[in-house]
Chain A
Amino acid sequence: MGPGRGAAHLELERRYRRVLRLYPREFRARSESEMLGVLMASAPDGQLRPARADVTDIVRGALIVRLRGPRDGWVSALAAFSLLAPLFLVMTDVLQVVFPYRVNITGLTRVLDGTATLVPLRGMAGQVGGIQLLSQHGFLLLAAGHLIIAALVVAGLRRTALAAMVVVAAVDLIQWGSFGIPIRMPYSVQIVTITVFVLEAVALAVSPGPRAGRRLVRWRYAVPVVLLAASMQACALMVDGNRLSPFGRTVLSPGSYLVLAIAFAVTGLVVTLAFGLGWRVCLLLAVMCYPALVYTVVNYAAFGFTYAGVAYDPVKDLTNYSGSPQFAALHVAILYLPPLLVAWWAAARVARPHPIGVVLEHGEVAV
Chain B
Amino acid sequence: MQETTFLILTALAGGSQHGYGIIQDVGRISADRVRLRAGTLYAALDRLDADGLITVDREQIVDGRLRRYYRLTADGRGQLAEEAERLRASAAAALTRLSALRPGTATAFIRSCDPRPGLAGGAL
Interface residues of A (CB under 8 A from B): 3, 27, 30-31, 33-39, 41-42, 53-54, 57-62, 64-65, 68, 71-73
Contact = CB atoms under 8 A, between A and B. Distances in A.
A30 B68 CA distance: 10
Given A31-B46, A68-B47, A72-B50, A37 B41 contact: no
Interface string B55-81: 000000011011110000000000000
Contacts of B53: none
B39 A59 contact: yes
B119 interface: no
Interface of B: 18-20, 23, 37-43, 45-47, 49-50, 62-63, 65-68
Contacts of A42: 20, 23, 37-38
B39 A37 contact: no
Given A27-B46, A71-B50, A34 B39 contact: no
Given A34-B67, A37-B62, A54-B37, 18 more contacts: A3-B63, A30-B46, A31-B42, A34-B19, A34-B68, A36-B65, A37-B20, A37-B66, A38-B38, A42-B38, A53-B37, A54-B38, A57-B38, A58-B37, A60-B39, A61-B42, A64-B43, A68-B46
B12 to A, nearest CB: 15
A39 B66 contact: no
A126 B40 CA distance: 58
A31 B46 CA distance: 9
21 contacts: A34-B65, A35-B38, A35-B39, A36-B65, A37-B20, A37-B62, A37-B66, A38-B20, A38-B23, A38-B41, A42-B23, A53-B37, A54-B39, A58-B37, A59-B39, A60-B39, A60-B43, A65-B46, A68-B46, A68-B47, A73-B50
B20 A60 contact: no
Contacts of A73: 50
A37 B46 contact: no
Contacts of A39: 38
Contacts of A64: 43
A31 B44 CA distance: 12
B66 A57 contact: no
Q: Which interface residue of B37, B38, B62 has the most chain A CB atoms within 10 A?
A: B38
A61 B20 CA distance: 16
A115 to B, nearest CB: 70
Contacts of B67: 34, 37
A59 B46 CA distance: 16
B96 to A, nearest CB: 37
A61 B23 contact: no
A43 to B, nearest CB: 11
A62 B50 CA distance: 16
Name the 9 nearest CB pairs between A and B, nearest first: A61-B39, A57-B39, A57-B37, A58-B39, A33-B66, A61-B43, A3-B63, A71-B50, A37-B65
A206 B7 CA distance: 36
